[in-house]
Amino acid sequence: MPENNISRTELSALGEFGLIEHLTKHIKLYHASTVKGVGDDTAVIDVGDHYLLATTDLLIEGIHFDLTYTPLKHLGYKAIVVNLSDIAAMNGKPTQVMVGLSVSNRYSVEALSELYEGILAACKKYKVDLVGGDTTSSPSGLFLSITALGTVAKNTVCYRHTARANDLVCVSGDLGASYMGLLLFEREKAVFINDPTMQPDLAGKEYILQRQLKPEPRFDIIHALLNAGVKPTAMIDISDGLASEILHLCKESKTGCRLFEEKLPIDPITINSADEFGIQPSTAAMNGGEDYELLFTISLDDFEKIKTIPGVTIIGHITDEEDGVQLVTSGGSLVPIKAQGWNHMK
């Protein structure tokens, strides 16, 4: 049959999550030990007295990172910690990582040594063992594939699909800073391309730049919740933006929610930077991505315990599914939440 008679669907028509759903809808699980496969931050595997957690991530030069403003050491560090954030989202503890590396001859041994300095620094900080991987050549650019393993007690594992109506919606840290750091880097890159003699204007922006270059997984929040006697009813990490993640959580839990714009935690530097770019700070917080904070729900019964934990903000509550996923604006209007964050297939 001629090729022009074959029906073709562009990847952009489905988007990243639509493509994942399409490719995985016919998956069958053959082992009782597979407790959770596709559909959460990590896979969950029963290994006896606890669960094994497994997650993987692929980073491609020109898609996920730009070496114009990303030092290789920072890239190596970030590649590890963003995978560890998935382990945190399951309420787990990271134990091992494996690194797959594909690289062109544009890179020197010294450059790759710098990359591994960052990888090993992240492993040292979070007491994670680098136990293997693969290295191969690439026709162009740099490709990184990271697999992270972890453990979690069977009675403390957290999923996306277990939120319940009337649960409180909480978030760690602040939102939107990483996105504003990315915009600042992109602006200064454009200035440099136009005039290489210009010096970058980054004074006073160190916080948002660090949030873009060197995020940290929030195991401190996991430990604080444990010490307070609080187990989230559901949890997910914020990698593609708050809007995208709350939609995932509500879809998997078959619930709706109401988030409140005025409750969103946003750092003053993020607010000022958003103003400079003509962006609503709440838009950066909802859709920016790469915050690697934790979005989680808790029972109303745990309110007194949660309110004293530093770095945790209650931003809304879970509703019935038919109420929809809504943002209550500062003016009191109800706006349906839509995912407008990072889409790998655009």
How does pLDDT run across 240-267, given as a tens digit for each residue? 999 999 999 999 999 999 999 999 999 9
Amino acid, single-letter form, for residue 339: A
- The yes-or-no verdict on residue 1 having pLDDT over 50 is no
Digit-coded pLDDT (tens) for 127-173: 999 999 999 999 989 999 999 999 999 999 999 999 999 999 999 99
User: What phi and psi, each to the nearest 5 degrees, are found at residue 44?
Assistant: -125, 120
Average pLDDT, rounded, for the chain: 93
User: What phi and psi, each to the nearest 5 degrees, are found at residue 125?
Assistant: -65, -40
Whole-angstrom CA distances from 70 to 28, 195, 235, 242 are: 40, 20, 30, 24
Average pLDDT for 5-21: 75
Round to whole Å and give the CA distance between 257 and 71: 39
The topology under which CATH files domain 168-336 is Phosphoribosyl-aminoimidazole Synthetase; Chain A, domain 2 (3.90.650)
Say what the pLDDT of residue 17 is: 65
Answer whether 151's CB lies under 8 Å from 52's CB.
yes
Rg of the chain on CA atoms, in Å? 21
Closest CA to 293 of 238, 245, 214: 238
User: What pTM was estimated for this model as a whole?
Assistant: 0.92
Superfamily of domain 44-152: PurM-like, N-terminal domain (3.30.1330.10)
Digit-coded pLDDT (tens) for 66-102: 999 999 999 999 999 999 999 999 999 999 999 999 9
Give the dihedral sign, CA 42/46/47/49.
positive
Closest CA to 26 of 12, 37, 42: 37
Say what the pLDDT of residue 14 is: 76
Average pLDDT for 114-133: 98
Q: Where are the domains positioned within the chain? A: 44-152, 168-336
Round to whole Å and give the CA distance between 294 and 296: 6
Say what the pLDDT of residue 25 is: 79
Question: The tokens 């919606």 sit on which residue?
Answer: 169
Say what the pLDDT of residue 345 is: 46
